[in-house]
Chain A
Amino acid sequence: MNIITTSESSFGHLIEEGRVHRTLYTDTDIFRLEMSRVFGGTWTYLAHASELPKPNDFVRKKLGLRPVIITRDREGKFHGLLNRCTHRGATICRQDEGNARRFTCPYHNWSFTNTGELAAVPLEEGYGPSFKKEELGLGKLRVESYRGFIFGTLNKELPDLKTHLGPSAELLDEWLDRWPGAELQLRRGQTRFTCAGNWKLIYDNAADGYHPGYSHASLLRMRKDRYGGGVDMQWALGNVDEGLQTVSDCGNGGTFIDQRAEIIRYWDQSAPMPGEGPYERIISEKMGDKADAALDVVMGSGMNINIFPNLLIIGNQIQVIEPQSVNKTNINWYATALVADDLPDEVNSLRMRLQEDFPSFGEPDDLANFEECQAGLEIEEVEWIQTGRHMDTGKEYIGAKGMLSGPVSDELPLRVFWKEWQKRIEQGNTGGTK
């Protein structure tokens, strides 16, 4: 079969029922199109409100490969700006975070407000009547947020963010409201990984309920040898499809693994963490009959909420996929704290330690497997990747929130992803057909 990947804007021949073509993971031209059309052509996660809490705060991020600045103006409204001087192209913001009402380009000192307008140009008399300052503001994204999660897009035709998120918005509510009234805070450090694999290998894995019993054999074996059964992730052993976990289609490429039915007592089933004894005692003393509930929010939620194309909410962490090239991806795990007047801060002393557990003993093994996938996919002669598990076993059903759901090892999430991917890649990033 002769695969033409780039000269056409139709990709149907690479995405079949139950399988997709390997070049989707290895072709640099496809990667370039993805960075233009997928990242930015749909609502794409940019930042969390708690990273820029005060008026005039900003953070520097990426939208695909585009450097962008997310700002909060003095009224508190969020803006997404392309970090590219309209004079001759230099990036104007060179810090990861800070507080600024204006950004001044270091090259010739054009300066821009944090809402993107061109405010001042040195030696302005050097420009004649054709110079239109009001047309030389920074490139702007369409920006909206849902409960602190800030998304941006170049696409003017998409519906509002909440409509776009569909059932994912409700799932985010459930994830956020485990301790009603608590505020979720980032700026608690990040675990930053890099992987010599295509970015989609990471998204694929986030709703892959088939792999844990195998890819995470080291974690499961270590826990069992040291602590016996009952601790952390034991639901991954055996025939997972006979267990209580499910996967679902959240629409627009979003997917969801629900492990909650497997968790009887969060705290008792938690992975071990440094400080467990002393802080459990303090929390129990301080909280009395609410102690169990407080201890439970130390542990991850038992939910994997994946929002196409780059946001993976897993456990207590917010993972953001940052593609670097067709075979290199950064994955940034933002640690989170829960802050509320009626929740002792000892909960966060434990949360920080627990959020180091999976990055130490779980994720690295997956990353090693993703890299080996990339190496294998470079082989020309074996062309296809299987995506058809449980596609025709009759096990899928309409589940909670009207979502198409299936047993946890169902590869439904892969099929959901590719459907949305194809829709995005065949359109320009501002909407409409290319």
Chain B
Amino acid sequence: MSINTNLIKDGFTLEDILRDTLESNYIDDSYYAKLRNDMDEWEGKGTVLNEEERQAYESLIIHENWLLDRRAFEQWYQLYSRECVYWVPAVGELPDAERADPQRQVTIAFDDRRRMGDRIVWLRTGVAYSQLPPSYTSHVSASFVRLPTEKEGEIKIRSQFIVQEMRGGHAIQTFSGWMGHVFVEEGGVIKIDRKVVCLLDAPRNHHNLTFLL
């Protein structure tokens, strides 16, 4: 197997992910403070994207959706920064400063880079019975807007989504809501630093959420 010198740029294999991030060293009080600040900023008034922003950010979100629908998890992993978070709150009726605070509340998913890797390795074991047969998804995103942010070097894009999920033997499930993507530049490449997925039915009971939103 060829060893990549720049994984972030050139891509990951499952073998790379197995060894990529085995410690969890960046989720701390200041990171949680950043997420609380994000929640406030997501409530702002967005502006529709100009052509340049569409090329840079909307196309990346569309590409992310496509990779997930293709179950290309290793390539999906590559879209994220070194200190990323993939977060699906378990509460509705946002904004709610206390209940939306992941430092105080359990969530549907709160994956730092290491747990994101765990999830991919887990999905690839071939014995995750909740993914046998696997889920196939169709992600549709729309209503992209850019939000003002006080964080220098960061770009905030909010969008609405509908995801349909089909798994052999089960009815098709539909999920909707909004997503927030925070983009940063890392080694000259635009990466997703934080993604929050706010499901319309977040506080309800879910049948199977073992695929990626």
A and B bind: yes
Interface residues of B in 119-138 (CB under 8 A from A): 119, 121-122, 125, 127-130, 132
With A192-B205, A276-B23 given, is the CB distance from A218 to B28 under 8 Å? no
Whole-angstrom distance between the alpha carbons of A307 and B180 in the complex? 41
* Contact B24 A273, beta carbon cutoff 8 Å: yes
Q: Count chain B residues whose beta carbon lies closer than 8 angstroms to a beta carbon of A.
A: 46
Contact for A275 among B28, B117, B206, CB less than 8 A: B28
Flag whether B175 is at the interface (Cβ < 8 A). Answer: no
Flag whether B114 is at the interface (Cβ < 8 A). Answer: yes
* Contact A365 B109, beta carbon cutoff 8 Å: no
CB-CB under 8 A from B118, the residues of chain A are: 222, 226, 272, 361
- What 0/1 pattern do residues 96 to 132 of B give for CB contact below 8 A with A? 0001001111111111101101110110010111101
* Contact B121 A222, beta carbon cutoff 8 Å: yes
Whole-angstrom distance between the alpha carbons of A215 and B125 in the complex? 13
Flag whether B189 is at the interface (Cβ < 8 A). Answer: no
- What 0/1 pattern do residues 337 to 371 of A give for CB contact below 8 A with B? 10000000000110011011000110011011100
With A194-B206, A221-B125 given, is the CB distance from A367 to B130 under 8 Å? yes
* Contact A277 B104, beta carbon cutoff 8 Å: no
* Contact A218 B128, beta carbon cutoff 8 Å: yes
Whole-angstrom distance between the alpha carbons of A348 and B129 in the complex? 31
CB-CB under 8 A from B206, the residues of chain A are: 192-194
Interface residues of A in 211-268 (CB under 8 A from B): 215, 217-219, 221-222, 225-227
Flag whether B59 is at the interface (Cβ < 8 A). Answer: no
Flag whether A188 is at the interface (Cβ < 8 A). Answer: yes
* Contact A188 B104, beta carbon cutoff 8 Å: yes
CB-CB under 8 A from B105, the residues of chain A are: 188-189, 335, 352
With A190-B106, A226-B121 given, is the CB distance from A275 to B27 under 8 Å? yes
Flag whether A332 is at the interface (Cβ < 8 A). Answer: yes
Whole-angstrom distance between the alpha carbons of A191 and B202 in the complex? 10
Flag whether A179 is at the interface (Cβ < 8 A). Answer: no
CB-CB under 8 A from B90, the residues of chain A are: 189-192
Flag whether B208 is at the interface (Cβ < 8 A). Answer: yes
With A274-B115, A275-B28 given, is the CB distance from A193 to B205 under 8 Å? yes
Chain B: residues with CB nearer than 8 A to chain A? 18, 22-29, 32, 85, 90-91, 99, 102-112, 114-115, 117-119, 121-122, 125, 127-130, 132, 203-210
Q: Could you list 23 A-B pairs, sorted by A, with CB under 8 Å?
A: A188-B104, A188-B105, A189-B90, A189-B107, A190-B90, A190-B106, A192-B205, A193-B207, A273-B24, A274-B24, A274-B112, A277-B23, A277-B24, A278-B28, A335-B105, A360-B115, A360-B119, A360-B210, A361-B119, A364-B130, A364-B208, A368-B130, A368-B208
Chain A: residues with CB nearer than 8 A to chain B? 188-196, 215, 217-219, 221-222, 225-227, 272-279, 330-332, 335, 337, 348-349, 352-353, 355-356, 360-361, 364-365, 367-369
